[in-house]
Amino acid sequence: MTISQSQHGLELPESLRLQLIEFRRRVWTIKMVEAACGAVTAVFAAFLATFALDRVWDTPVVVRTILFASAVFACLLVPLAMHRWVWRHRRFEQLARLLSRKHASVGDQLLGIIELVESESEQARSRELCAAAIQQVAASAQQRDFRDSVPNPRHRRRAVSAAAAAALVMTLLAVVPAAATNAWARLLAPWRNTPRYTFAAVEPLPDRIVVAHGEPFTVTVRLAESTAWRPLKGA
């Protein structure tokens, strides 16, 4: 293992740099997958809730607005996760602090040699001692597996949840496309007066009916041609 020297001083060994870069890539990938899958699951869950509630009653605007806001909030967590896990863990010293949560000694040692590399005053005292310290820590780090140092990885579980929700949504779109499309429209624009889709639809009734006062009368209700469900009787 060799330590390169630049015109500004010592540099981290290439093996240690690659190890930290690989750890950084793993952190970024896992945390962004978690955020993206969480957002997808939340959006699909809001749609499924809207679809299910619409089958029972005409879901009020307030309820649909709450579901819409929940989905939007879940999507906003993606840029927050990007700031927390990508932007705030892009430099080697930031990664060393993250590693110290799992491997306290190695993380602290890495942070120490990174400060040595960046400190010209420390190198001016004894470049040989600094190089020896860097080499020792790099050799110790090579014997550690940093893959288990990602804090609380939940990407697999969230990916399964997102896939299950997506499969259910795709099934509804394939089996009952009209109802599913209507539920999407009512969820994505809860402030609009989008009529609820019903599988049994009737033809529009006249706004005004003239009948004899006090006499019984009959109103004929017919199912619309586009209705998907034709019950034998209704109450």
pLDDT at 49: 97
Give the CB-side neighbour count of residue 125, counting CA atoms within 13 A: 7
- Whole-angstrom distance, CA of residue 161 vs CA of residue 189: 25
- Model confidence band, residue 224 (pLDDT cutoffs 50, 70, 90): low
- Model confidence band, residue 219 (pLDDT cutoffs 50, 70, 90): low
- Whole-angstrom distance, CA of residue 210 vs CA of residue 219: 11
Evaluated on CA atoms 68, 74, 78, 79, the torsion sign reads positive
| Chain centre to alpha carbon of residue 42 | 8
Residue 189 one-letter amino acid: A
| Collapsed DSSP state (helix, strand, coil) of residue 5 | strand
Beta bridge partners of 9: 6
Is 67 in contact with 46 (CB distance < 8 Å)? yes
Of the listed ranges 70-79, 130-139, 174-183, the least confidently predicted one is 130-139
